[in-house]
Amino acid sequence: MTTNHREREQLSAYLDGELGDVERTTLEAHISTCEQCAGTLAALRATAGDLRLLAEAEPTPQDAWALRSAIARARRAQRGPRWARVAMASSASAAALALIVGSVVFLGGSGDDDRFAQTGVEISGPSSLAFGVEVLDEAFDQTSARGLFPTRDPAVAAEAAPGDGSGRDDAAQFSGGAPAAQQDLRSADADLNAHRVRIEACESALFGDDEGVERTPQRYIVARYNQVDAYFLLYLLPSEERYELWVIARADCDNVLLFEQRAA
Amino acid sequence: MSSEGPTDRELLERYVAGDARAFDLIVDRYERRVYAIALRMCGDPDDARDVSQTVFINALRALPGFREEAQLSTWFHRVAVNASLDHLRKQKRQPTDPLDSVGDRPSEGPSPEDRAVSAVRAAEVQAALRRLSDEHRAVLVLHDIQDLDYAGVAHALDIPVGTVKSRIHRARLELAKLLGHLRETSEGTERSSGPSNKR
């Protein structure tokens, strides 16, 4: 019995169901009389079975985050002049953003330290929702997001968050003066001091290259995001008249620009 | 992949029309597949992460010019394989032995014993896979791991179906020997009687 007969070349295709009826029948007849081909077939089958062990290959949440972060960076580089093209987002996007902002407000307002709360609550939801709000449409106004903005008392902000149509008051509040969030950090305990150090390190890594772009911190929130310990950082960019909300991983400063919004 | 939600074609049209969110949905849809191909081609999770980023950043630019008649899935399979090979070439090294990096990643929850055993075997299989040529590894990753049929592999790699057929066969024979399912004899190759070896 030779080992390199034509039938042997067909064994993998037979295993994969890729042979026609005639070829298959012929090969089956051959296998039943050829011990060597039957043995090779069994070995091929075992090999294919081994390969199926490798089917499970999930990116970690950190991988998913890094990917979206890289995409956001590439998009900003691609976009060139800021706001040259503001895409029309669907109303679904605005709803998704409201959901996220609502969650963040909740996180920010809970806990013992009333303005800089650390909680174990996660912002959940399909990743497409959580990440899919980079560009906002015109219909999403500041009133919806103002719960995020610094106020003297977050309880008041939380109360006001449902929206009474007077978004301008809040806009006035954060447009001048020292950022309230930084004051919070300075007056807080050692835990918060550690957060401050970490945030500053991430900020310099993240924005150190952005020469000439001034970011005024509006609010820092310690939270978890997609199963990762993170900071939410809200900035005003006065020269560009817009806000940015960043999420930064505490462990490695991995980051994603969650959304941008024009300042009124 | 999923019967619900917009089709690939619809997402592409929306993306080309300027809907940035459509691209996010494309990412959600293909992220795992691209990552899995990159992981099995390179053998290292960090490489897989880098390759995934390269693929989708390329997609940002490339998808607006996407040909109507091609399948988006085919495009992603092809680009994932090519980007993996480019990545390995740039690093001027062979795919990583996964046994080296197995401890680098957080494990996914508790591991029952049988799961641990199959994880060890999976690492052996990945190590054997890395010894194959790029061509052989690519057909096995797409067919035996990603479950594409011969025609799908042919499209993804832009080679004739007949080539896919012979390549898969040769690649499996080679891998079978590496995994101890086959052993060399004086007359050629025959099935090994013993348990799988580790070499």
b/e per residue, B147-166, with b = 16+ CB within 10 A? ebebebbbbbbeeeeeebbe
What's the predicted TM-score (pTM) here?
0.59
Average pLDDT over residues A68-72: 86
For the segment B97-112, the average pLDDT, to the nearest whole number, is 48
Does the pLDDT at position B26 exceed 80? yes
Average pLDDT over residues B59-64: 88
State the Cα angle at B25 between B23 and B29, rounded to 5°.
115
Averaged over A160-173, what is the pLDDT?
Answer: 33
Helix axes B150-157, B72-90, angle to 10 degrees: 60
Find which of A70-74, A85-89, B16-20 is predicted with most confidence, using mean pLDDT. Answer: A70-74
Q: Are residues A84 and A16 part of one domain?
A: no
The pLDDT score that the predictor gives to residue B68 is: 65
- Chain A (40-59) residues lying within 8 Å, Cβ to Cβ, of chain B: 40, 42-44, 46-48, 50-59
- Residue B105 in domain: no
Q: List C-alpha distances in Å: B90 to A61, A146, B10, B37, B58.
A: 27, 47, 35, 18, 17
Query: Quick one: A10 and A79 in the same domain?
Result: no
User: Do A68 and A176 lie in a common domain?
Assistant: yes
In a shared domain, residues A37 and A71: no
Same domain, A109 and A81: yes
Query: Would residue B132 count as lying in a domain?
Result: yes
Work out the percent of chain B whose per-residue pLDDT is above 90: 58
Asked if residue A106 and residue A44 are part of one domain, the reply reads no
Does position A175 have pLDDT exceeding 90, yes or no?
A: no
A29 and A75 both lie in a single domain: no
Does residue A1 sit within a domain?
Answer: no
Question: Of B106 and A165, which is predicted with more confidence?
Answer: B106
| Residue A131, CA distances (Å) to A72, A134, A228 in order | 10, 7, 14
Is residue A114 located within the same domain as residue A219?
Answer: yes
Dist. CA A43–CA B180, nearest whole Å = 9
Tally of domains in chain A = 2
Query: CA-CA distance, A228 to A157, in Å (whole number)?
Result: 26
Indicate whether B127 belongs to any domain.
yes
Residue B175 sits at the chain A interface (C-beta within 8 Å):
yes
* Domain range enclosing A87: 61-262
A249 in reach of chain B (CB within 8 A) = no
pLDDT, tens digit (0-9, with 9 covering 90-100), for A77-108: 765 433 222 222 333 344 444 444 444 433 33
Backbone angles phi, psi at B73, to 5 degrees: -60, -40
How far off is chain B from A157, nearest CA to CA, in Å?
30
Vertex A241, ends B22 and A175: CA angle to 5°? 125
- Calpha distance A134→B23 (Å, rounded): 11
Domain carrying residue B1: 1-96
Same-domain check for residues B85 and B21: yes
- Asked if residue B106 belongs to a domain, the reply is no
Q: Please judge whether A58 and B35 are an interchain contact, meaning their C-beta atoms are less than 8 angstroms apart.
A: yes
Which domain-ending residue is among B69, B96, B123? B96
* Least Cα separation, residue A85 to chain B (angstroms): 9
Give me Rg for the CA atoms of chain B.
19
Say how far apart CA A43 and CA A121 lie, in whole Å: 51
Selection from B71, B69, B68 nearest residue B26 by Cα: B71
Chain A nearest-CA residue for B107: A60
Looking at the structure of chain B, the number of domains it has is: 2
- Give strand pairing partners of A242: A237, A262
Asked if residue A108 lies in contact with residue A154, where contact means CB atoms within 8 angstroms, the answer is yes
Q: Do B33 and B72 belong together in one domain?
A: yes
Please provide residue B189's backbone torsions phi and psi, each rounded to the nearest 5 degrees.
Answer: -125, 140
Which CATH number do you get for residue B173? 1.10.10.10
Q: Tell me the range of A68-77, A252-261, B103-112 where mean pLDDT is highest.
A: A68-77
ipTM for the whole complex:
0.82
Q: Mean pLDDT, chain A, as a whole number?
A: 61
CATH number, position B19: 1.10.1740.10
**Residue A248 maps to a domain:** yes
Q: Quick one: A101 and A221 in the same domain?
A: yes
Give the model's pLDDT for residue B154.
96
Same domain, B2 and B92: yes
Q: Are residues A220 and A125 in the same domain?
A: yes
**Domain assignment of residue A206, yes or no:** yes
| Cα A161–chain centre separation | 24
